Chain A
Amino acid sequence: MDKILNVQNLRTYFHTRAGIIKAVDDISFCIHDGEILGIVGESGSGKTVACHSLMGLIPQPSAKIESGSAIFDQTDLLKCTEKQLRRIRGKRISMIFQDPMTSLNPYMRIGTQLTEALKQHTDLRGKAATDQVITTLEEVGITEPEKRIRDYPHQFSGGMQQRVMIAMALITGPELLIADEPTTALDATLQKQILELIKKLQQTRKLSIIFISHDLNVIANITDRVLIMQKGKIVESGDTAEIFQKSKHRYTKKLLDAIPTGAKQHPISTKENQQTLLELSNISTYFPVYSEGMLLRKKSFLKAVDNISLSVKSGETLGIVGESGSGKSTLARSIMQLLRPRTGTVLFNGMELQALSEKSLRSARRDFQMIFQNPYASLNPRMTVFKILAEPLLKYKTANNNPVSEEVSQLLDKVGLEHYQSRKYPHELSGGQRQRVAIARAIAVRPKLIIADEPVSALDVTIQAQILELLLKLSQEYKLAMIFISHDLSVVRYMSDQVAVMHQGKIVETGETEKIFAHPQHSYTQSLLSAAHTPIWQTNTA
């Protein structure tokens, strides 16, 4: 096989006020004709910067390519002028990005955006160009492309937007496609569809693809060869199957081990006679949707949570899975009474939460705390870690009479942070450390129930594994009941005793985790489970 692209000794450094950051530090790799090459690594490992360096897309002047060569069809991409590079970029090497929502221009019709690429690189104009746009959109699976070319990006769903992105990248008939986390922002079922589409197009068009992802499952499923990147260096490379089955480098092993696998270690069975802590009956939360009317607005409702009944026993973890928009977060907020449900009752520890006044609700909140998805946004940036942790302690005056500073130190110990970190502000901490602070804040007042809304989905796999371990440890230690919300089936399976599957505001199936995973009854659960691919290295080595 011919090498379509050969990269040697690429170094890209960022020159910042704090000094030089070696984002890409002496990497060499090549990609063969018709091959899918995966680049895996955690955030900040340099995988995106490496690809942007090849395309001349790094932010200059702060980033600089220090050395290296990248031979593509006898030309060195790194030595091309901007003008020469523009003739290759988008014509012979195309890119697709992570978030199709923000990667398409919201102010332009998609037809215009696709035609633009054609006009830039080919002689097609007018009707011929439009026809080409329509056939390409058809190829990526957009129905009725003749009508849809007049639409704006926001009129498409996430999966359809990514299809449009792919069509835009392929319309000029490139030889190499760089796909930067193309499925990360999508739900499991959509992810599967997009991966299948990429694979199909790769075969029909004889494409070479560089596929960047942090998701080892995705990489294992789609790539032929894989590079593992850590801190700007390639630590291991080789055949995908080989790497995943007998990896040599310890970082690769660490990555593979970090993926939660199998069931919860010590599940609490339902038969044990426990007290029911939380009981939801027929909860519904609607959002009003207004459509323009002459003087009176017409009001209709979006049923975000639609007639849900659930119960959680003390000490037990209930996992809630579902795709984005299925109402998971709204359910969490309805339980917390951050949103007041329209109908139904929330019975917590014998108290009916809706019946409480604002004031008594505030004191009741001590027993149920929440951890949010994004630790970057959910911690007040103007409060130090100490203040964040001391606030609930002072507010609820916990029973023991230790000074607050001592309690904060204990909390930091519990979540595995150093004491000196209490003086820091959230922005000085890493994502994982921030989530530890968020967890410490939630357990500070010794609640009986914690609702964790996607607590690990913003984190890298190795950090995710640490946080999951921490949550498991704490829930056992404090006999915490937990509602664990995630779109990630393997994470939910690893964490929960019971699981509830949500779809369009309703719970379609609920029961013991292992039973559901082994014998899904509802068709939606079945499709969800089949979309989540089983990692090949597990099926083969087990």
Chain B
Amino acid sequence: MTLFLLKRILQAIPVILIVTTVTFFLVRAAPGGPFDTERTVSEEVLNNLQSFYKLDQPVHIQYQDYLKNLFQGDLGPSFRYPNRTVNEIIADGLPVTFELGLYAIIFAVILGVVAGIIASLRPNTLQDHLPMSLTMIGICLPSFLLGPLLVLAFGIQLEWLPVSGWGYSPGDKILPVVTLGSAYAAYIARLSRAGMLEVLGQDFILTARAKGLPQWRIVTVHALRGGLLPVVSFLGPATAGLLAGSFVVETIFQIPGLGRFYVQAAFNRDYTMILGTTILFAGLIITLNLLSDFVTAWLDPKQGFVKK
């Protein structure tokens, strides 16, 4: 098991390296630079800036320097926010984004799994069709539409919840979490319905029924573990996608998370910022996928994780 982990971590290193390299050269190949603004800056100032950030040196030297710093955990200074390093910006924004993502995924899993199980118990009846139609809406509705709609309903009309902010007033975290999580809840509901239906049709469920077990025990003890395997494998990529995609929700609800910096960095040609956040998200995606693979394997006794 430790061997499996070690192997996967070793495999992640070249992936990170490739992501870094490709991003590094792509952003430099894109037209424009970090100091292009509407106002023309004098040649001298520009040269000073460039030499300060070592942009006047040959690209391969810049690349070497960047890698050297990266290995020491230093993502370099931000080009657009003077006096702040990329590390500092990430340290500020990441916890907020993490918190938002974590709540959203918890919300999505609880709602999705419950809805999926309910639907799978009586397939092709109202109990199945109703939640499944709702999930279709959930998948179709983009967050930039759902967010304002929720704000309009619960914030402005009903005045139940604050319309924006993060941690300033009680309940202001609810709307962003729902907005971010509902599409994933819908997807998880569909996955768990399909997974549960498959398991519930298997022979060992008939055995369990023939043993005289009550329905709730058959569902929770015998079917759930196998039925939720597809959900668990989806959770890794879902959480990663959720974190990377939180930009829209962070903007709608004025949340000081990392997502906003990520997108603005791209507009600003903030080379180090783009690189830093990309590497961070790549690392997150790899880690979370690894985690979900690990849990999937752990749930399946045939993979032999439990013993050995």
Chain A residues within 8 Å of B, Cβ to Cβ? 55, 57, 85-91, 94-95, 97, 99, 102-108, 116-117, 120-121, 152, 154, 165, 168, 292, 294
Assembled-state Cα–Cα distance A95/B206 (Å):
10
Complex: chain B residue closest to A292, CB-CB: B3
For window 181-218 of chain B, which residues contact chain A by CB distance below 8 Å?
202-204, 206-214
Chain B contacts of A90 at CB under 8 A?
Answer: 210-213
The answer to whether B299 touches A86, judged by C-beta atoms less than 8 angstroms apart, is no
* Residue among B210, B226, B306 making CB contact with A57, cutoff 8 Å: B210
Chain A contacts of B208 at CB under 8 A?
Answer: 105
Known: A97-B207, A105-B222, A107-B226. A87 touches B302 (CB 8 A): no
Known: A90-B212, A90-B213. A152 touches B301 (CB 8 A): yes
Chain A contacts of B306 at CB under 8 A?
Answer: 152
The answer to whether B203 touches A97, judged by C-beta atoms less than 8 angstroms apart, is yes
**1/0 per position for B290-303, CB-CB distance to A under 8 A?**
00000000011110
The answer to whether A120 touches B212, judged by C-beta atoms less than 8 angstroms apart, is yes
Known: A102-B203, A102-B204. A107 touches B300 (CB 8 A): yes
Additional pairs, 12, CB under 8 Å, beyond known A87-B212, A102-B204, A154-B302: A89-B209, A102-B203, A103-B203, A103-B206, A103-B207, A104-B204, A116-B211, A117-B211, A121-B212, A154-B301, A165-B207, A294-B3
Chain A contacts of B210 at CB under 8 A?
Answer: 55, 57, 89-90, 94-95
The answer to whether B203 touches A106, judged by C-beta atoms less than 8 angstroms apart, is no
Chain B contacts of A292 at CB under 8 A?
Answer: 3-4
* Residue among A95, A106, A165 making CB contact with B301, cutoff 8 Å: A106
Assembled-state Cα–Cα distance A89/B210 (Å):
6
The answer to whether B302 touches A106, judged by C-beta atoms less than 8 angstroms apart, is yes
Residue B80, interface by CB 8 Å: no
Q: Closest CB of chain A to B226's CB: distance in Å? A: 6
* Residue among A99, A106, A107, A116 making CB contact with B213, cutoff 8 Å: A116
Residue B260, interface by CB 8 Å: no
The answer to whether A103 touches B211, judged by C-beta atoms less than 8 angstroms apart, is no
Assembled-state Cα–Cα distance A120/B214 (Å):
9
For chain B, the count of residues having a C-beta within 8 Å of the partner chain is: 23
Assembled-state Cα–Cα distance A498/B160 (Å):
86
Assembled-state Cα–Cα distance A294/B6 (Å):
9
Assembled-state Cα–Cα distance A107/B302 (Å):
8
Complex: chain B residue closest to A94, CB-CB: B210
For window 1-18 of chain B, which residues contact chain A by CB distance below 8 Å?
3-4
Q: Pick 20 A–B contacts, CB within 8 A, sort by A.
A: A57-B209, A86-B213, A89-B210, A89-B212, A90-B210, A90-B211, A91-B212, A97-B206, A97-B207, A102-B204, A103-B206, A103-B207, A105-B204, A105-B222, A106-B301, A116-B211, A116-B213, A117-B211, A121-B212, A292-B3
Q: Closest CB of chain B to A88's CB: distance in Å? A: 7
Q: Closest CB of chain A to B122's CB: distance in Å? A: 9
Chain A contacts of B207 at CB under 8 A?
Answer: 95, 97, 103-105, 165, 168
Chain B contacts of A107 at CB under 8 A?
Answer: 222, 225-226, 299-301
Q: Closest CB of chain B to A159's CB: distance in Å? A: 17
Assembled-state Cα–Cα distance A168/B212 (Å):
12
Q: Closest CB of chain B to A24's CB: distance in Å? A: 18
Interface centre among A57, A94, A104, A152 (most CB of B within 10 A): A152
Chain A contacts of B202 at CB under 8 A?
Answer: 102
Known: A103-B204, A292-B3, A294-B3. A86 touches B214 (CB 8 A): yes
Q: Closest CB of chain B to A239's CB: distance in Å? A: 29
Complex: chain B residue closest to A57, CB-CB: B209
The answer to whether A89 touches B204, judged by C-beta atoms less than 8 angstroms apart, is no
Chain B contacts of A95 at CB under 8 A?
Answer: 207, 210
Assembled-state Cα–Cα distance A120/B208 (Å):
11
**1/0 per position for B208-239, CB-CB distance to A under 8 A?**
11111110000001100110000000000000
Which 4 A-B pairs give the minimum distances between C-beta atoms? Answer: A90-B212, A90-B211, A102-B203, A89-B212
Chain A contacts of B204 at CB under 8 A?
Answer: 102-106
Assembled-state Cα–Cα distance A400/B54 (Å):
81
Complex: chain A residue closest to B122, CB-CB: A61
Chain A contacts of B203 at CB under 8 A?
Answer: 97, 99, 102-103
Assembled-state Cα–Cα distance A90/B206 (Å):
11
Chain A contacts of B225 at CB under 8 A?
Answer: 107
The answer to whether A86 touches B212, judged by C-beta atoms less than 8 angstroms apart, is yes
Assembled-state Cα–Cα distance A152/B300 (Å):
10
Assembled-state Cα–Cα distance A85/B211 (Å):
11
Chain B contacts of A121 at CB under 8 A?
Answer: 212
Q: Closest CB of chain A to B50's CB: distance in Å? A: 45
Assembled-state Cα–Cα distance A95/B211 (Å):
8
Assembled-state Cα–Cα distance A91/B213 (Å):
10
